Chain A
């Protein structure tokens, strides 16, 4: 008699955090199908985790694996997962235990982007959602449009891979009021992309820091490479106008991580290195509102 081997991944209460890469959801073809992700213990769900989980599911489905996500035991967390559109586009069996999503125009949720038309639509949608959630704060919608546009454009074209790019956003009010947006892809990552033109920048964190400067590009056009700088410039301008607000941009790719914090009229850059390289590029853009 043959025994059926399977894989079970049990998430913990803290699995739903904002780290863009963790070993608990491995993208390895050797995992034995069917794969069950037991999300029963989850107590929260950062949009970065949501993207990571959805990417895990899509990646393994593309590998031909069966995947099932057992829903969080906490009904509020399960409902949040559903409302964030986690199951949209997935075969019914993958997330059969999730409740139905509630129709809510003020939720952006998760979107998979495979082409420019998707990025165009989601950039406009993100602004609309921000306005519905926190009101039409002068300028923030425009700054967000810039951020979503540039981040999604980069993810789709420089991070090209078979799954495309992912974007998700939500809003929290505790411990502070935040609009949290993440964009991720499984492409070659910012450091590798930029080394196509600048092979001397071998340090991943330094390479990420460089793309925040003007005119640094991995393409053949020396007049490109201003998207990140424009995103930050616009956020700085709005932060100065909206004194009790701020923005945090966090970029992780390969072995590098760069955080940019704009608050109180001051820009702080935090560079760290990791011993666990991550695949792709994982970016969070958080608007903190008073």
Chain B
């Protein structure tokens, strides 16, 4: 069963690479499942650098990742980061 990581438990706006690293490390410490779903419901903004550090690096590390409930501006950053970092499409 996939781990569902609900981002709104940590805030609604994410700006920095440092914050992305912090959340990625938190998520990695919790992962025992084969797959992870990151739920962006309620998140209004993420910067490109945050998305790159958080989701982009997870995708690059080969984590079986699904991103869910993204608003259009959030999806914009997340998709770009994942594409550039992993070079592969990701489920949603």
Interfacial residues, chain A to chain B (CB-CB below 8 A)? 116, 119-120, 123-124, 127, 139, 141-142, 145-146, 148-150, 152-153, 156-157, 223-224, 226-227, 230, 234
- How far, in whole Å, are A141 and B44 apart by their CA atoms in the complex? 10
Question: Which chain B positions have C-beta within 8 A of A127?
Answer: 13, 44-45
A146:B77 contact, CB within 8 angstroms = yes
- Pick 11 A–B contacts, CB within 8 A, sort by A: A116-B16, A123-B47, A124-B13, A145-B73, A146-B47, A152-B15, A153-B16, A156-B16, A223-B60, A227-B49, A230-B47
Contact A145 B84 (CB under 8 A): no
Which of B12, B13, B84 is in CB contact (< 8 Å) with A223? B84
Tell me the B1-29 residues at the A interface (CB within 8 Å): 11-19
| Chain B, range 33-75, C-beta contacts under 8 Å to A | 44-45, 47-50, 52, 56, 60, 73
Q: A120 and B17: CB pair below 8 A?
A: no
How many angstroms from the CA of A128 to the CA of B16 in the assembled complex? Answer: 18
Task: Say which residue of A124, A157, A223 sits within 8 Å of B45 (CB atoms).
Answer: A124
Interface SS of chain B = helix
User: How distant is the Cα of A141 from the Cα of B18 in the complex, in angstroms?
Assistant: 22
Return B19 CB to nearest CB of chain A, in Å. 6
B17–A157 touching, CB < 8 Å: yes
Closest 10 CB pairs of A and B: A149-B47, A149-B15, A123-B15, A116-B18, A142-B73, A230-B48, A124-B13, A145-B45, A116-B16, A153-B16
Q: Is the CB of A152 within 8 A of B13?
A: no
* Neighbour of B13 across the interface among A145, A150, A230, CB < 8 A: A145
A152 to B56, CA, bound (A): 20
A116-B15, A227-B48 known, 9 other contacts, Cβ within 8 Å: A123-B45, A142-B45, A146-B77, A148-B15, A149-B15, A153-B18, A223-B56, A223-B84, A230-B80
The distance from the CB of B44 to the nearest CB of chain A, in whole angstroms, is 8
Chain B: minimal CB distance from A9 (Å): 35
Chain B residues closer than 8 Å to A226, beta-carbon distance: 48-49, 52, 84
Pick the residue among A124, A150, A234 that contacts B49 (CB under 8 A): A150
**Chain B interface residue count: which class?**
20 to 34
B77 in contact with A230 (CB, 8 Å): yes
Contacts A146-B77, A226-B84, A230-B77; is A120 near B48 (CB within 8 Å)?
Answer: no
Shortest CB distance B80–A (Å): 7
Closest Cβ–Cβ distance, residue A78 to chain B (whole Å): 33
Interface contact A149-B16, CB-CB below 8 Å: yes
Given contacts A116-B18, A116-B19, A230-B77, contact A123 B13 (CB under 8 A): yes
With A149-B47, A230-B80 known as contacts, the answer to whether A223 contacts B85 (CB < 8 A) is yes
Q: How distant is B3 from chain A, measured CB to nearest CB, in Å?
A: 24
Query: In whole angstroms, what is the CA distance A226 to B14 when docked?
Result: 17
Q: Which residues of A contact B48 (CB under 8 A)?
A: 146, 149-150, 226-227, 230
One of A120, A148, A149, A153 near B11 (C-beta < 8 A) = A120
- A142 CA / B18 CA spacing, docked (Å): 20
Q: In the complex, A141 Cα to B13 Cα: how many Å?
A: 12
Bound-state Cα–Cα, A127 to B15, Å:
12
